Structure 1
């Protein structure tokens, strides 16, 4: 199953309602949607984004200078 790119453009972060960025693996398959503002990654399971806050994984904090 493929993820429709039009769907990606409509989805927003369920926490802050901000934009999401599609992340892909080495084979260019969609793996997760990330929110830079909340530092969360929402998984894509069998082509379906799981947009539940408790299912998201925290992203690593950017290095501080």
Structure 2
């Protein structure tokens, strides 16, 4: 199982163009760097990507 996703992976998952997938990677990696993490250019951590782009099935009510 892959821990990191490439632009091609994101293209397939979100059905976006290559330029958009690289934009997503840059955005998520910037956020990770602000939190003090090291990043790999052109790749994004799969767990971070999933957290940002997929809703959690558990819905909290107030």
Q: Given the two structures, how large is their TM-score scaled by the length of structure 2?
A: 0.31
Which structure: larger Rg?
Answer: 2
